[in-house]
Each structure stands twice: as structure tokens, then as C-alpha cells.
Amino acid sequence: MPPTKLHQATVVLHQEAGRGYFRIVLKAPGLAKQARPGQFVMLRVSENQDPILARPFGIAAVKSKQYIELFYRVVGRGTALLATVERDAVLQVQGPLGNGFPAPEKGTTPLLVAGGSGFPPLLYFALSMRHPLYMFLGARDKECLPPLRAIKSCREQAEKVYIATDDGSAGTRGFVTDGLAAFLDSRNDRESFVIYACGPRSMMAAVSKLAAERGISCFVSMEERMACGLGVCMGCSVAVRTGGYKRVCKEGPVFKSSDIDWSEQVVLPALHRK
């Protein structure tokens, strides 16, 4: 992979996307040409070191090999500042970073499982594929589901989109993993599927367990706080089954789910909030 560069990206579109989300499209040809589904970027919100750290964002789409598309929600000072950025502003973006999703093997059908705001990398992955796939979207309630634009894109690409909310305000009441388990148990061809997941750690742990019990390959995109995005600070380390730790920004963010030690939660200083 070519060395990662710092890009000057121009904001060509920035708008509210519904359900508390914002959509931002950046013109960054050099970055867009290199990006692969599952990778992310580090975006510096301001030029004056406040906040001091760049923020990680999963790439949701690449358009015409010139533009990258991101979705985010305001959850802290960094994203609150980002929400004020206007069209034609120039932002510093580092990327693409990390390892992306491996392509599904021939003869397998991808099952994409997104929890809450974990949908962007899976959306990019779905849009990049040209064969059948199934999408499972879950959230606490309908307000936490992906914005309608993203759901529409998923429905255009997938054979079927399954939606679940904890409170039943949209789709099926319950966890998204309940729908995934029911789907798999209704099929006689479970060995022909491969699972890709991104979302809260508890959800991905449940998906990993479900996949292991049914003998299905599973890949997860880990979401951890990070400071540098380059593997230097070690702030995004996760425990692995073989012992020790791996960095989400460098060895990840995509891992085989069976490689992660789901029983151990690494507790490191909170370096930033988005």
C-alpha cells in the first residue's frame, strides 16, 4: 500500500442527514483513489490545535475516485466543531488508514451486521460489491438507526435489509443478533455465508459467538478511541486470544472475530472523545 499522506480536503457538501446524523463529502482525489472498504481517516477539525487531536471516521463511500463520504453524530467537542464547518472549507485529512475488509471467497454470501453508528464502513463495503448480500441493521431505537439515505442505499444493494431496535420503535423488537440468528437457523446453507460486523463491542462479541457456534467465518471492524491513527500511541489496543494486544489503527480495524479476546476490555486513558 502507498505510504499514508496528509491531504488537504475541500468540503463540497455538508448537511444534516436526519436522525441526528450529519453527512460530509470531501474532495480528496489522492485519498479517494487509495481507499478500500473498511479503512478510515483521521480528520483534524480545526487549525488552531483545539481540540488538539484528529478524529477517526470510517469511510462510508467513495465517489468517482475523487470524493469520500463520511457520516457522523455530534457526541463531543470535536464533532460539535465539525458540525459548524461550511462548504468550501479545507480540512486536513490523514488516510486512508488501517486494513480493510477481505473480499468474500467465491461462492459465499456476505451478511453485513451494523449496530448503531457502526454502519459507515459496511455501507462502503456493500456499495463496492456486485453480488448478493444481506444487511442487518440494529440500534437502541429508531432515532439511533442509520439515516434514511444510508438505509435506502443498503436496500438498493442488498437482497434484503433486516432492521431491529431494542424498543421496537422500528423494525423487529429486540437485538440485531436475534434477527441474524433466526435468519441463519432458517437456512440449510449456513456454510455458504460469511459475516462482517461493526458496532458496539457487546454486539460484535455476540456476533462472534453466534458465528463460532455455527461454524461461519466472521470479520469485525473494531471501534476504539485513538489519538494518532498511526500505531504510535498504543491507545487503541485490543486484547487477542494468542496473548498480548494488537492496535486497531495498524493491525485493524478489521480482524477475524475469532482472534479477539472478547472477555478482556482494555482500559486505557481516555485520550479523546469525538
Looking at the 3D structure of the chain, how many domains does it have?
2
Distance in angstroms (rounded) separating the CA atoms of residues 13 and 117: 20
Taking the CB of residue 187, how many other CB atoms lie within 10 A of it? 12
Residues 16 and 85 in one domain: yes
140-149 pLDDT, tens digit each: 999 999 998 8
pLDDT range class, residue 252, cuts 50, 70, 90: confident
pLDDT range class, residue 221, cuts 50, 70, 90: very high
Domain of residue 134 covers 109-220
Percentage of the chain modeled with pLDDT above 90: 66
Query: Could you tell me if residue 246 is inside a domain?
Result: no
Using DSSP, state whether 30 is helix, strand or coil. helix
Contact 121, 198 (CB under 8 A): yes
Give the pLDDT score at 162: 96
Stronger pLDDT, 190 or 31, i.e. the higher one: 31
Distance in angstroms (rounded) separating the CA atoms of residues 107 and 114: 23
Query: Could you tell me if residue 238 is inside a domain?
Result: no
CATH code (residue 190) = 3.40.50.80
Residues 83 and 169 in one domain: no
Stronger pLDDT, 31 or 51, i.e. the higher one: 31
CATH code (residue 88) = 2.40.30.10
Query: Could you tell me if residue 230 is inside a domain?
Result: no
* First-to-final CA distance of the chain: 27
Residues 213 and 141 in one domain: yes
22-47 pLDDT, tens digit each: 999 999 999 999 999 999 999 987 66
